[in-house]
Structure 1
Amino acid sequence: MGSHHSHEPEPDWAAIEQAKRERQAAEERQRQAEEAARHAREAAERAAREAEERRQREREAQLAAERAAQAAREEAERMRRWREEAERAERKARQEAEARAREERARAERIAREMEEERQRLQAAAEAKRLAAIAAREEEARRQRAIEEEAQRARKAQEEAERQAREAAEAARKAQAEREEVERQLKKGIQPVVMPSVEEIQLAKAKVQYEECIFHFAVAGIAGSGKSSLINALCGMSNSDSNAAPTGVNETTLEIARYIDSAHSKQFAWYDVPGSGTLTIPDWQYFNSQGLYVFDCILVLFNNRFTMTDQAILANCRRFNIPTFIVRSKSDQHILNLMKDMGYDPDEEDTDSRAQFYKVAREKYISETRQSVKNNLTEANLPDQRVYIVSNKTLSGVVKDRGPKRIIDEVELLTDLYNEAYRSGKFT
């Protein structure tokens, strides 16, 4: 059989090469497209990141701005509160400065008054010292004369013996006269001077709650002389105060009443003693029956007249060595009565006329009161003693440091009372 050879067509190498090139070109384009897509994605991512960063920076900037605004608002509020506080502090400081200035002015005025009072007191003390020096010189001269007289009597022994005999006879006569006088007084019911026993003194002290560390002032006098009102004034109280001493037209005190001065509660005690005549007590028994011998100081108060009771109190105080102060109260009313007697019309509005009437009446009242007390003391064989002329209203004003204008003896009375208390040695 014959062999059969088939002939296949030759490959189209050019087409193959062309197809290869096209495939490679397509792959390159695909690669480039992928590269471009990658670059695009990266650019998009960068843009997104940058946009996010910008948004973050913007949020941070906004937050920073909000914080700054909040801080500014807080600082403004703090500054407002600081200004208000500064204004309040300034107002308070100004008010305190004004109050201190007022207090300093009042203190300066009070010191000026006290200095003037001290000057007057020192002036009076200097005068008293001068008079005491004169009295001492007179006493020395008298003593010298007595020495000379004694020397003369020594030279005249016989005359001395006769004189002594005469004196002995005279003494016997006086003793007999005194015994007869005592018997006469006893027949009349007049009690002789009786010294209290130790037991009576202890009982009297217990009755008035006597304390050794307190100075005890007693205010005594006849019924209706104004003892309670005077005590209220001395304690800086008015008669209407709840703890004031009761007052009235009739005698309101039937037992010794004790009052404490609130300003000197650890130093002074005041006692309102029943007026004589209210407890059927005779004048000569008044001092002992009321136990006045236990008090540290006694104020003898009188209104219109100086009585036997007042004289008896002063005499007994001398016997017991008790300091005394003679006081006349209600002076404002007495001066007004004198003004009316002189023709003053209370309804008249002429202040100059009132001032002139007051000046004349005041001088007359003071002069007559001092002379009346002097005469009464002389008649009672008692030594001369100052009388303190006061008005309870003015005295209360002085105690409360209100600076009353129409002062007579109120300041000096308080000063002398306090000095007497401190001289007692009860206070350190």
Structure 2
Amino acid sequence: MEAQQAAMQAAAAAQEQAKKLEVAANEEKRKVTATQEAANTSKKAAKEEVKVVNAVKEEAERKLKGGIQPVVTPTHQEVLAAKRRVQYREDLFHFAIAGVAGGGKSSLINALRGLRDEDIRSAATGVTQTTLNLARYGNSNAEYPYVWYDIPGAGTLKIPDWQYFNAQGLYVFDCIIVLFDNRFTMTDIAILTNCRRFKIPTYIVRSKADQHIRNVMKDMGYDSDDDENEDQKKKLYQTARQQFIQQTRQSVKDNLENANMPEQRVYIVSNETMLSVVKKKRPKKFIDEIELLNDLVEEAQTRRAHRDAEAAATTKD
């Protein structure tokens, strides 16, 4: 009897153990199946992601080939990093002068700061001293809390036109002067386009007006070695000056129109004349130097007043 009872208990225990093993096996099978399903889902999602990325890439390449530049928005971290790089301060107004290399950015900055190229603390100029890195210059007149930035010329860097704006961190500046010398380029258009996106005020400026006018005079037959009377020289100068101004304004207008951008004024200046204006002298020959300086000062004062009003409203709240 006892032997029979022991046998029954052993059989029940074996049956219970078999059930546990079956449950464990089923659970393991379920886990393996779930893992396989998750892997398949992940693989499918990865394929879909790659498909989307490739589609975006192909679309960007298609647009780029068609002349449509992709929109690249900097991240919050990139903005902060750019501000640290340029030593951005809320109590200052930050002017950046950008454009193609050789346009005379350094010389214009010197003139706007009331300095000649050869003066101490002036921005380096010349073919062998072309700016390859962003340079920061304080204003010599403490009355105007401005900082000027000489941005590396697009021609000195292997950066596509549409990447130049972001690569140089131009989105952190308060105002950007787009400076050109001989011709208005796609780089200039790209800068203006991006400035509109970021609501950054811009000023299109053509430099070296005095040199260009002399070149037009030569094209018209003027020879400085000839003994032409002063009246003839003045008339020729006025004709060349007017021709240069009209051609410049029309050229910029046409370029903006071709790029589907709104019309915008171009300021025509010479650095020597700008220096005289900054030093509060009244130059005999000037084009847009006085108006450019006044507009830049007004832009900075307006922005500063706006910031002061915002600060006062925040304090009040």
Report if TM-score (shorter chain) is over 0.5: yes
Q: Does 1:354 align with 2:233?
A: yes
How is 1:180-329 mapped onto 2 (pairs within 5 angstroms)?
181-185=59-63, 192-250=70-128, 252-264=130-142, 267-329=145-207
Cα distance in 2 for residues equivalent to 1:303 and 1:407: 17
- Output the CA distance in 1 between the equivalents of 2:106 and 2:100: 12
Cα distance per residue 1:215-248 (max 9 Å; x no partner) = 0000000011110011011111000012100001
1:365 and 2:244 are equivalent in the alignment? yes
For 1:310 and 1:391, how far apart are their aligned partners in 2?
19
- Cα deviations by residue, 1:44-96 (Å, 9 ceiling, x for unpaired): xxxxxxxxxxxxxxxxxxxxxxxxxxxxxxxxxxxxxxxxxxxxxxxxxxxxx
Report how far residue 401 of structure 1 moved.
1.4
Letter in 1 for 2:261: L
Indicate the residue corresponding to 1:96 in structure 2.
Answer: none
Give how far 1:279 is off.
2.2
Corresponding position: 1:391 with 2:270: yes
The aligned runs of 1:18-167 (5 Å cut-off) are: none
* Deviation beyond 6 Å, 4+ runs, structure 1: 186-191
1:344 to 210, 222, 243: 222
Query: Structure 1 residues 404 and 302 mapped into 2: Cα distance closer, same or farther (>3 Å)?
Result: same
Partner Cα distance (1:179, 1:258) in 2: 37
Please report how far the alpha carbon of residue 185 of structure 1 lies from its aligned counterpart in structure 2 after TM superposition. 4.1
Question: Which of 413, 424, 428 does residue 292 from structure 2 map onto?
Answer: 413
How far is 1:267 from its partner?
1.1
**Structure 2 unmatched ranges of 5 or more:** 1-55, 309-317
Letter in 2 for 1:410: E
Which residue of the partner structure matches residue 314 of structure 2?
none
TM-score for the superposition, normalised by structure 1: 0.56
CA contact (8 A) 1:301 1:329 kept: yes
Higher helix share: 1
String of CA shifts for 1:304-327, please: whole Å, max 9, x gaps.
111010000000000000000000
State how far apart, in whole Å, the 2-side matches of 1:266 and 1:361 are. 36
RMSD: 2.3
Is 1:376 aligned to 2:233, yes or no? Answer: no
Counterpart code for 2:202: T
Instruction: Determine the structure 1 residue equivalent to 2:53.
Output: none
Residue identity in the other structure for 1:222: V
Seen in structure 2, the aligned counterparts of structure 1 residues 250 and 316 have a Cα distance that, compared at 3 Å, is farther
- Contact 1:190–1:284 (8 Å) recurs in 2: no
Distance 1:248 1:183 in 2: 38
Query: Normalising by the residue count of structure 2, what TM-score does the alignment of the two structures yield?
Result: 0.75
- After superposition, the Cα gap between the structure-2 partners of 1:189 and 1:243, relative to the gap in structure 1 and judged at 3 Å, is same
Gaps of 5+ in 1: 1-177
Greater CA drift, 332-341 or 264-273: 264-273
Distance 2:65 2:161 in 1: 17
Structure 2 counterpart SS, 1:262: coil
Distance change >3 Å, CA 301–CA 311, structure 1 → 2: same
* Residues in 2 aligned to 1:186 and 1:335: alpha-carbon distance in whole angstroms: 38
Residue pair 1:332, 1:391 contacting (<8 A) in 2 also: yes
Instruction: Please identify the structure whose Cα radius of gyration is greater.
Output: 1
Distance 1:368 1:250 in 2: 30
Q: Which amino acid aligns with 1:192?
A: P
Q: Which residue of 1 aligns with 2:283?
A: 404
Match of 1:173 in 2: none
Deviations 1:118-145 (A, max 9, x none): xxxxxxxxxxxxxxxxxxxxxxxxxxxx
Shift of residue 250, structure 1, vs aligned partner = 4.6
CA distance in 2, matches of 1:336, 1:189: 36
Over 3 Å counting, the alpha-carbon distance change for 1:326 and 1:186 in structure 2 is closer
Distance 1:189 1:399, change over 3 A: closer
- Report if the CA contact (8 A) 1:224-1:251 is conserved: no
Whole-angstrom distance in 1 between the partners of 2:157 and 2:265: 29
- Matches of 1:421 and 1:192 in 2, distance apart? 31
Equivalenced residue count is 252
Question: Counterparts of 2:225 and 2:138 in 1: how far apart (Å)?
Answer: 40
* Structure 1 position 190, deviation (Å): 8.3
Structure 1: which amino acid aligns with 2:77? E
Contact 1:232/1:245 (<8 A) preserved: yes
Distance change >3 Å, CA 186–CA 353, structure 1 → 2? closer
- 1-structure distance, mates of 2:144, 2:291: 22
More moved, 183-192 vs 305-314: 183-192
SS at match of 2:294: helix
